[in-house]
Amino acid sequence: MSMTIINPSSFTLVIFSFTLVLALGMLSLIAKKPKGQLPPGPRGWPIIGNLFHMIMNRPVHVWIHRCMEDMQTEIACFRFARVRVITVTSSEIAREVLREKDEALADRSESYSSNLISHGYKEIVFSSYGENWKLMKKMMTTKLMSPTTLNKTLGDRTLEADNIVTYVFNLPRPGSINVRDVALTYCHAVMMRMMFGQRHFDVAAEDGGLGPKEKEHMDAIYQALDCFFCFNVTDYLPFLRGWNIDNEEEEVREAVDILNRCNDPIIHERMHLWRNKGGKETEEDWLDILITLKDDQGMPLFTFDEIRAQCKDINVASIDNTMNNVEWTIAEMLNNPGILEKATNELDVVVGKDRLVQESDIPQLNYIKACSRESFRLHPANAFMPPHGARQDTTLAGYFVPKGSQILVSRLGLGRNPNIWDEPNVFKPERHLAGHVRNSMDVTLMEPEMRFVIFSTGRRGCAGTKIGTSMTIMLLARLLQGFEWTLPNDTSQVELVTADSNLFMAKPLLACAKPRLAPTLYPKIQVYNSEKLFSWKNYQHM
């Protein structure tokens, strides 16, 4: 699940080999002179701009933020061939992007990976702004993510919250536990139940974890994410597509093929059930809803390709944020035992130790939500939000932004901006219990002032904010309530280092978990698959 790292040396020859070709076509490649002053940016080469610098400086997000720091600017312009990429690290400018200029900047840019993942832009995340996108967004908001649907699927989420505490309870002790694997198991299981109504594609794992097919599916999701966020050179020089430079195209094709092999049989079977055999008594999951939606003429609203593209959106969106947040939060707590104690005490006061924490308790768990917010601020899953595209000429912070520009709001830059945050690199959950939430009884995972980004906002905002909040806080709360977390004997401090190519922890978090509730509160693991119940009896460790 490591993000693709492009080898700079292999690109050097390619870039210079095509310089002559580019020069011959420079009239079509050189952008028109801008109508106003562009944001500041590093000097680039003729024709290719900063593309060579992008190739030679990996990971790109580190180079971009370093350039902005050197220029002492909160908005910058990088030119990758014909594409101008505008980066933003200021909350004020972020509000301009996502509120004031929201409609003008509501487009998406094309890329090889997004085209493949979305089956030709037939879904909501990657498709261009327009009537078809508006229809899909409306259906996502009013049908799949409606309060009625989320309430209907509460039992599925609760079952997996039960499963995960028992899964951890049953892991061998003494010994350390891979917290990332635990988080991924929960996230994938919840996503599968809500999407397809089943936990496994095939054979269930006997310990209640992920089976072989689920692990393959999970790896493909992360491989697809890596490809989307890694600044592929062919996205800026499209004529290089087909050359499979540094294996980029093969990797995303491989990931999409795996997702198709896992998802498509379920989708085909369910579509046949609903459209050829009369269906079921009621819609039971998100897939049922997507298949049964009708247009004004009473015809199916979505095609097979549109449904499979929407399923991939949900596959990807359901996992990385929650997994990354919970792993980093527990890591920070282990390095700050006082914070861990406060969070555990809150659970003991609000919930007690005679029952398991439920989603209905979340509004009262303000300190735990503050910890999660602080982790989102300091350790976002990705350096940037998905790129916004300029549908027309506009301005940002007084600078000219040409039509076709990509705008990247920096999650990392906002969350660690010293002009916004006191001691920005220090984990302090208390900062979220005052200030803008001083008059609120409920700390939320929303950030209306754009001081940092948890879920995307604006027209292109995340439709799954509520379910994302529930999954994140429930997983964190269940793990903290159910277990006393400590570092392994040979570890004095968690090394809070990000991976070379993304913002996940460089190494999966290993920690020891001692049950802190009565054994009877850890229920049996239940795995429903193809209308059958697989149940493994939990056992008490000596």
Residue positions forming the annotated binding site: 462
Which of 149, 91, 125 is closest to 470 using CA atoms? 149
Integer Cα distance of 282 and 274 in angstroms:
10
Q: Following CA atoms 105, 109, 114, 118 in sequence, which dihedral angle do they give, to the nearest 10 degrees?
A: 60
**Which residues have CB under 8 Å from 103's CB, separation 6+?**
129, 391, 459
By the 8 A CB rule, do 91 and 397 touch? no
CA 313 to CA 460: how far, in whole Å?
13
Place of tokens 């506009």: 394
- Give the tokens for residue 356: 């398991």
Phi, psi of 191 (to 5 degrees): -60, -45
CA distance 44 to 54: 11
Using CA atoms, how far apart are residues 107 and 163, in angstroms rounded to an integer? 40
Q: Which residues are annotated as a binding site for heme?
A: 462
- Asked if 237 and 52 count as a contact pair (C-beta separation under 8 A), the reply is no
Residue 513's contacts (CB-CB under 8 Å, 6 or more residues apart) are 168, 171, 173, 177, 479, 482, 483, 484, 485
DSSP 281: S
Using only the alpha carbons of the chain, give its radius of gyration.
Answer: 24
Provide the residue count of the chain.
Answer: 542
Q: Phi and psi for 142 in degrees, rounded to 5?
A: -90, -15
Q: What is the DSSP string of 317-373?
A: HTTHHHHHHHHHHHHHHHH-HHHHHHHHHHHHHHT-SSS---GGGGGG-HHHHHHHH
- Nearest Cα neighbor of 50 from 222, 236, 248 is 236
Kindly list the distances between the CA atom of residue 496 and the CA atoms of 384, 484, 493, in Å, as whole numbers in the listed order.
20, 21, 9
